[in-house]
């Protein structure tokens, strides 16, 4: 399954992983040594993330229930916790550089295919 920024006609990820249970949402990327290029983790439902105890930085995209980007946080370093985005229904975590490479911005529409 691929994740696409429809607005920019850009592929965000070729392989999408899902964290939709309480345990999977709690674990997220914790314990991983790196995040492979071309992968994305969708955490649903979710409107807040943290990078405590992570070993690498990530790009984070907050998305509403209509699949529209609410906020982007590029290069979120380990041991950080951005503010929650209450309009977000889910979060997409990506390897660092994807937000910049795809020029993804709030207001863009995402699509899974």
Given this model, what pLDDT does residue 26 score?
62
* Structural domain boundaries in the chain: 3-112
Given this model, what pLDDT does residue 19 score?
85
Given this model, what pLDDT does residue 13 score?
98
SS3 content of the chain, % helix, strand, coil (to 5): 10, 35, 55
Given this model, what pLDDT does residue 79 score?
94
Given this model, what pLDDT does residue 46 score?
94
Contact 56, 89 (CB under 8 A): no
| Fold that domain 3-112 belongs to in CATH | Jelly Rolls (2.60.120)
Averaged pLDDT, groups of 10, the chain, 113 residues long: 97 92 64 82 94 92 98 96 97 97 98 96
pTM (2 d.p.): 0.93
Identify the CA nearest to 91 among candidates 38, 26, 39, 42: 42
At 93, list the tokens.
């975590």
At 28, list the tokens.
């997220």
Given this model, what pLDDT does residue 22 score?
67
């Amino acid at each position: 399954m691929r994740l696409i920024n429809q607005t920019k006609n850009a592929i965000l990820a070729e392989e999408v992983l899902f964290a939709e249970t309480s345990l999977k949402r709690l674990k997220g990327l914790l314990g991983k040594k790196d995040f492979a290029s071309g992968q994305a983790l969708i955490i649903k439902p979710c409107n807040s993330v943290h990078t405590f105890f992570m070993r690498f930085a990530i790009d984070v995209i907050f998305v509403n229930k209509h699949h529209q980007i609410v906020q982007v946080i590029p290069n979120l370093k380990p041991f950080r916790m951005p503010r929650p985005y209450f309009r977000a229904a889910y979060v997409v975590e990506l390897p660092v550089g994807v937000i910049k490479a795809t020029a993804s911005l709030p207001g863009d529409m995402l699509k899974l295919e």
